[in-house]
Amino acid sequence: MNAPSLPDATLAAYRAAIYRIHGEPPIDMMIGAKNAAVAALLAGHGVASAVFVTAFNPFGCELSAEENAARQQTLEAHIAQAGWMALSGEGMDPNNLWRAEPSLFVLGATELDADDFMLAFEQNAVVVVKSDGLAQLRVHPRYM
pLDDT of residue 3: 64
Q: Does 41 map to a domain? A: yes
Residue 21 lies in a domain: yes
| pLDDT of the residue at 107 | 98
At residue 5, the pLDDT reads 86
- What is the average per-residue pLDDT within 56-82? 96
CA dihedral of residues 131, 133, 136, 140 (deg, nearest 10): 50
Domain containing residue 139: 8-143
Residue 1, domain member (yes or no)? no
Domain count, the chain: 1
Contact by Cβ (8 Å): 117, 53: yes
Residue 88 maps to a domain? yes
Interval 95-134: pLDDT, tens = 988 889 999 999 999 999 999 999 999 999 999 999 999 9
How many CB atoms neighbour CB 87 within 10 A? 17
pLDDT digit string, tens, across residues 14-64: 999 999 999 999 999 999 999 999 999 999 999 999 999 999 999 999 999
Residue 89 within any structural domain of the chain: yes
Predicted TM-score of the model (pTM): 0.95
3 belongs to a structural domain: no
Q: Is residue 2 part of a domain?
A: no
16 within domain boundaries: yes
How far apart, in whole angstroms, are the C-alpha atoms of residue 71 and residue 83? Answer: 19
